[in-house]
Amino acid sequence: MDIARNPEMADAAPTPHEPPVIRREDYTPFPWILPEVRLRFDLGLEATRVVSTLTVARNAKADPSSTIRLNGDGLQLVSVSIDGEPVNTWSMDGDDLILPLSGDAHEVEIATEIDPGANSQLMGLYASNGMLCTQCEAEGFRRITFFPDRPDVLSTYSVRMEGEKAQFPILLCNGNKVEEGELEDGRHFAEWHDPWPKPSYLFALVAGDLVANSSTFTTMSGRDVELNVWVRDGDLPRTDHAMESLKKSMQWDEETFDREYDLDLYNIVAVSDFNMGAMENKGLNVFNTKYVLADPDTATDADFDAIEGVIAHEYFHNWSGNRVTCRDWFQLSLKEGFTVLRDQLFSQDMQGEAVKRIEDVRILRSAQFPEDSGPLAHPIRPDSYREISNFYTATVYNKGAEVIRMMRSMAGPEAFRAGTDLYFDRHDGEAATCEDFVRAIEDGAGLDLEQFRLWYSQAGTPKVEVAMRYEGETATLSLKQTVPPTPGQPAKHPMPIPLRIALFDRESGEHGGEQLIVLDTAEKELAFEGFAQAPVLSINRGFTAPVAIERTAPREDLVFLAARDDDSFARYEAMQELVVGHLVAALGGGLSDEEREVGQAAIAEAFGAILTDDTLDDSMRGELMMLPSQTYLMEQMLVADPGRIHAEREALKAWLGQHFHSTLETLHDRVSAVPYSLDGPARGARKVKTQALVYLAAGDPESAAERAWEQFDGADNMTDRQGALMVLAGLEGALRTNALLDFYNRYKGNDLVIDKWFTLQAWSTHPQAIEHVKALAKHPDFTLRNPNRVRSLYMAFAGNPHAFHQADGEGYRMLADLILSLDPINPQTAARFVPALGRWRRIEPHRAALMRAELERIAAAENLSRDTYEQVTRSLG
Ligand code: 0A1
Ligand code: ZN
């Protein structure tokens, strides 16, 4: 029956403003199994007809039910039949279709119609540049046809696609193509079969005018796999890097995790309208063009690396996600945390372990730490949600990867492999849970992870306070952990925190070997004997644990480590600590002129060593030169004043730029002479080149503007050109204007590069950046319909503290306006801008009140999407 017509149920039903809370503890298996799904698509941009035929049988492992609930969202129902008979005994519960089923097994056929052209949410089947494509994770399949749209219902799919050949010459779906042919009236068809049972979120189809970069890969058992990277005609020359990345990923997963690909075909399709980075649909990955297209003229070194990483990520999902999938969406980190770890390890092997680790920690600290310390904090395995799209977070992905990385550090790589082998073996073809993963690692690697499971249930970044005492040749290390309260979790238990440490001899600069200690109680003391003088402590080497270390290390110890720690991450960390310590003290207002000088001198000593150390490769030099980001600095303060943090940080940059003026010029000259290539040293040179320019521009804007223009104008690659333009965009004057104009004209029509043009201006240190953002929002190339373009302007703006946090609240108003106008078009993307306003509790009271007021203004809007509603109410909560 139609529940909306039942007065009792209608009362109980949530108002449109209060979408229901879904809880992990409420999981129950679906009462039916659907071994086979047949789909027929009659494709059209404005109208697509879908006929689905489902084989349905009772699930012996679930409580029986006399109905089947098929999820829907915005579908037009055409007809239903059961066992070949048209029926009208169905009812609707909200958007869901409820069918009565009396027997143990049935065949259900449902016809629906959808309008892909009107789908601006980009979930389900949608049109992008005249082609049709799908996005079904997490709950998009229900926008294509009525179906139990949950990850624990696994089926084999057979799909027939039919459409106009001129409009859709290429017809792609999951699995292998089994038949194709011509039809009357210029139409054609293709039939696809995917032999691997999968949940609906891994379904995909693509129809359009595409061309492929094709190749083959021979797997370890000798099977040939056809590989295709599909793009629009003109983009073909920019697909080689993606193809190479795919082959490297396939090879690496065989060698490192013993995982072989399992179909004869692997298709990747690039689309320009996409909510996320990419999607691992079985045998048919759909990618944001940003993570496919690259050549030296249009993509930076960082873009090349990101493409390699995302291609690997989606490929690795074929095992960690597809062959073993998730029981429910609370288990998302099961596939995402593990797959991120796998792509990080791959990129470490491809790009160099030291630099990659530093970059990954930087991402964690700038994206995940703020999440963990704010109103949206949640465990890597959340307990509840209203809209699952809001939980594709840095916590589930990046902290999830760190948690598994800790298991690997404690087990050692070989035992960890035994654990993952067991996991894949045990759960192949299943929808598993995080608990299944932990148990497999316990059994396979021989670890006791009883207490470690807390990392899955407790949110918040643990704080570890570190102190060292030295007495009579004994150094005593005392450690104390606290896990801060987070929403819904006021009190926490101590967690096992693995920390790699080393104790350096001050004289020799050597240490007697590293050790792994595990802090598994609230406090612990460890004694180390045999030191003739107090050693220098290097702790959390390699960032073994995703924690915040708090220590009052003597400044000279940090200078010592920044100049010579043999663990690259620890060396980077010492430099960061040195700078953070100085800036936090300066912001506290307690620095006398003399103390300021002493602090700057220590930073200069370490910075000078980094600039001139010829045993360092340039890639690492470039990392070590970077100051802690403003976001990270804001995290260090209980209540932050963004304006003052910006001013202090810029002042230190300027001071370093002046102090090292000639060294930086010499360095810039040296690296500018290195010719372009994609090898490590040349890439390192380019990183240092722009870093040097950043400091020179802070120290002496006028002379640096000339230098930056030269780098810009003479560039034969995007890394140098973008780096120089970034510096120029922060300066005043004609060179800035000319460079921006030149860049725009040169790349007009290339969407991905024009995105960079928007980003560079929105992210700039220029004092009028906020005015520039306003003007750019009115630029003819700006549109709310393309997520890349929206992000290129507004994510950069929200991440630019001095513009976004302008004291009069104008930045907050602009972001709230954006959220309100984007929400009806693309709620998923709109909701992603809310966390920037949600940081209000950690900002000084005047701005905090303005931020809160904007959140309240959004909350008061009518017809807010579930996505935005959830993020806004949690942020106010
Ligand atoms: N599973 C994908 C991420 C993803 C999630 C949701 C999407 O919907 C718009 C798209 C992609 C990954 O981890 O790469
Ligand atoms: Zn993923």
* ipTM of the complex, rounded to two decimals: 0.98
Q: How does pLDDT run across 45-72, given as a tens digit for each residue?
A: 999 999 999 999 999 999 999 999 999 9
Give distance in angstroms: CA of 266 to centre of ligand 2.
17
Protein residue closest via CA to atom 2 of ligand 1: 279
Contact partners, residue 76, CB within 8 Å, separation at least 6: 112, 113, 114
Active site (catalytic) residues: 314
For residue 276, which ligand has an atom nearest its CA?
Answer: 1
Where do the structural domains in the chain lie, given as residue ranges?
Answer: 33-299+310-324, 326-457
Of 279, 388, 395, which is best to mutate to test ligand 1, by the most ligand atoms within 8 angstroms of its C-beta? 279
- Domains 33-299+310-324 and 326-457 in one fold: no
Give distance in angstroms: CA of 335 to centre of ligand 2.
7
Give distance in angstroms: CA of 276 to centre of ligand 1.
6
* Residues in the chain, pLDDT under 70: 1-17
Q: Which two tokens stand for residue 535?
A: 């050693």
For residue 121, which ligand has an atom nearest its CA?
Answer: 1
Q: Which two tokens stand for residue 88?
A: 């009208």
CB 847 within 8 A of CB 808: no
Q: How many whole angstroms separate alpha carbon 160 and alpha carbon 197?
A: 17
* pLDDT (0 to 100) of residue 552: 85
CB 134 within 8 A of CB 161: no
Q: Look up the CATH number of domain 326-457.
A: 1.10.390.10
Give distance in angstroms: CA of 841 to centre of ligand 2.
31
Protein residue closest via CA to atom 11 of ligand 1: 279
**656 forms bridges with which residues in the sheet?**
none
Nearest ligand 1 atom to the CA of 397 is 13
Question: Smallest Cα–Cα separation from 99: which of 63, 72, 134?
Answer: 72
Q: Is the whole-model pTM more than 0.95? A: yes
Protein residue closest via CA to atom 13 of ligand 1: 336
For residue 275, which ligand has an atom nearest its CA?
Answer: 1
Q: Decide: residue 605, CB within 10 A, 0-12 exposed, 13-18 middle, 19+ buried.
A: middle
Q: How does pLDDT run across 424-483, given as a tens digit for each residue?
A: 999 999 999 999 999 999 999 999 999 999 999 999 999 999 999 999 999 999 999 999
* pLDDT (0 to 100) of residue 17: 59
Give distance in angstroms: CA of 73 to centre of ligand 1.
19
Q: Look up the CATH number of domain 33-299+310-324.
A: 2.60.40.1730
Q: How many whole angstroms separate alpha carbon 529 and alpha carbon 476?
A: 9
Protein residue closest via CA to atom 3 of ligand 1: 279
Q: How many CA atoms lie within 13 A of 439 on its CB side?
A: 8
Q: At 266, which helix (H) or strand (E)?
A: strand 265-271
Of 392, 393, 786, 829, which is best to mutate to test ligand 1, by the most ligand atoms within 8 angstroms of its C-beta? 392
Nearest ligand 1 atom to the CA of 389 is 6
Q: How many whole angstroms separate alpha carbon 322 and alpha carbon 303?
A: 26
Q: At 337, which helix (H) or strand (E)?
A: helix 332-351
Give distance in angstroms: CA of 277 to centre of ligand 1.
7
Protein residue closest via CA to atom 1 of ligand 1: 279
Ion ligand 2: residues, Cβ under 5 Å: 336, 339
For residue 286, which ligand has an atom nearest its CA?
Answer: 1
Protein residue closest via CA to atom 8 of ligand 1: 137
* pLDDT (0 to 100) of residue 1: 32
Give ligand 1 pocket residues (Cβ under 6 A). 135, 137, 275-280, 313-314, 336, 392
Nearest ligand 1 atom to the CA of 138 is 6
Q: How many whole angstroms separate alpha carbon 548 and alpha carbon 563?
A: 22
Give distance in angstroms: CA of 339 to centre of ligand 2.
6
